[in-house]
Structure 1
Amino acid sequence: MPRTALALRHVPFEDLGLLDPLLRERGYEVAYLDVGVDALAEATVLAADLVVVLGGPIGVYESEAYPFLDGERATIAARLAAGGPILGVCLGAQLVAAALGAPVTATGRKEIGFGELTLTPEGRASVLAPLEGVPVLHWHGDEFAVPDGGASLARTPGFPNQAFAIGAGVLALQFHLEADHTVLERWLIGHAHEIATAGVDPGRLRADAVALGPALAVAAREVLGSWLDALPDAPR
């Protein structure tokens, strides 16, 4: 039987991006579940060999406005309790943190654009090592605390927790390694209001994607590929 990768998606243009071909190269069948639209069945999430929780422009704490968030967090918690591999990106990382009991809070500021990470000692010894000195794509305003038992892997001056891991099977990234710089225009259109409100120049983002995106794509492929290959019983 082929292995399955299930992506929990919140907005159409924040998809698996660069991660999609890596999964298919390793023999995964890829499926999307559009959270808030499709039924989020716990059995479906538990049955997948890998779950990727993608980003989105809402906060974990906004369940009154977006009631599906409570069910999504509970479903992620069930998968974590069952020991299933999971990758969280941006909102997805915050949902993983919250499912593990860590607080997620609004900071009142935005970190949008390409910028380098500072890797912790644990980060330099992790699959994130290829990101040393490589600007990554940031697009967030909330922050998570590292859950109990997690290893903090990276930080930036404004956001002290940019990534954490728990064992080989749980990786949470505040930043976007999966984003394909060749189609970043989708993000600029989809997040036009947020960009304008934050005073971010879309021309600068566009130019940085051209200048920095290719090197980031190489590093991202190495990071994500290494993480996939280290999963228990990972296909080769």
Structure 2
Amino acid sequence: MKSVVAIRHVAFEDLGIFEPILEECGYRVRYLDPGLLGPDALEALDVDSPELMVVLGAPIGANDDALYPFLSAELDAIRHRLEAGRPLLGICLGAQLIARAMGGRVFPMPEKEIGFADVSLTREGQVGALRHLGNPDVVLHWHGDMFETPPGATRLAYSHACSHQAFAVGEQVLGLQFHLEVDPARIEPWLIGHAAELDAAGIDPVALREQAARYGPGLRIRGQQVLREWLAAAEAAHDIA
């Protein structure tokens, strides 16, 4: 059976709607929680063996390794995976860490981008897995920092507030600033877990809940289509059966 290791930083920021697709495609999912297990768990991680590695989001910054020392070990694991050329997916913080590991900058935005809003595709983004999204399409954004597309990667998407929303390296690496993985039917833990951030940013959780109900069903379908196509291409490129 194929395996995927998902580095998860907070319990509710999991694989969401991606998990059933991974299971459907024959993957056994294993979560690794460095916040609970510490840097040693990342240093002991066999980065090469899993057919897929996913680095998920978190309400901390990609440059915060002085505050959260496990991030240094996480960056080392990402660098090793990149050097191995094995399939790697990063979402929000995960994409920022991949960008940083590749030599790209991660820096604060003038204001946070939180909520269901448009993302647009570049010409390159329209011919890959992200083509299943509309252009533009409404997705869930939840970040205050942004990455720049790192050297050697291709920029795939952008929004009005954030000019770098997705990038790819060949078929094996995909970085997404926005949250295609979130199950809109399970938005409540996000509203609870990020209550202080929402309040500080003046964002109404009632409005987010209503947006999740409105956009969720269609976004779930499109997000899962994106993952299926990207996964198939990554597997074909690396002869993963």
1:85 counterpart (87, 94, 104) = 87
Map 1:32-51 onto structure 2 (within 5 A). Answer: 32-38=31-37, 39-41=41-43, 43-51=45-53
2:182 equivalent to 1:176: no
Match of 1:26 in 2: 25
Distance 1:63 1:213 in 2: 34
Question: Which amino acid letter does the alignment assign opposite residue 210 of structure 2?
Answer: A
Match of 1:222 in 2: 225
2:164 counterpart (161, 166, 175) = 161
2:138 equivalent to 1:152: no
Distance 1:151 1:37 in 2: 34
Give the number of aligned pairs. Answer: 234
Q: Identity over aligned residues, as a percent? A: 49
Q: CA deviation at 1:42?
A: 5.1
Contact 1:42 1:75 in 2 (8 A): no
Q: What residue ranges of structure 2 are gaps of 5+ in the alignment?
A: none
Contact 2:10 2:58 in 1 (8 A): yes
Distance 2:33 2:159 in 1: 30
Map 1:1-236 onto structure 2 (within 5 A). Answer: 2-38=1-37, 39-41=41-43, 43-132=45-134, 133-231=136-234, 232-235=238-241
Distance 1:107 1:54 in 2: 20
Distance 1:85 1:107 in 2: 29
Contact 1:134 1:215 in 2 (8 A): no
Task: Indicate the larger mover: 197-206 or 99-108.
Answer: 99-108
Aligned-pair Cα RMSD in Å: 1.1
Question: Which amino acid letter does the alignment assign opposite residue 11 of structure 1?
Answer: V
Contact 2:51 2:240 in 1 (8 A): no
Give the TM-score of the pair, scaled to structure 2.
Answer: 0.94
Distance 1:134 1:104 in 2: 24
Q: CA deviation at 1:134?
A: 2.6
Distance 2:160 2:34 in 1: 32
Distance 1:43 1:65 in 2: 22
Distance 1:179 1:21 in 2: 12
State the secondary structure of the residue aligned to 2:129: coil
Contact 1:18 1:217 in 2 (8 A): yes
Show CA shifts across 1:62-97 (max 9, x none): 111111111111110011001111000000000010
Q: CA deviation at 1:234?
A: 4.0
Give the TM-score of the pair, scaled to structure 1.
Answer: 0.96
Contact 1:228 1:234 in 2 (8 A): no
- Which portions of structure 1, spanning 4 or more consecutive aligned residues, are displaced by more than 6 angstroms? none
Distance 1:69 1:76 in 2: 10
Distance 2:45 2:142 in 1: 31
Q: CA deviation at 1:45?
A: 2.3
Show CA shifts across 1:4-56 (max 9, x none): 10000000000000110111111111000002322113542222110000000
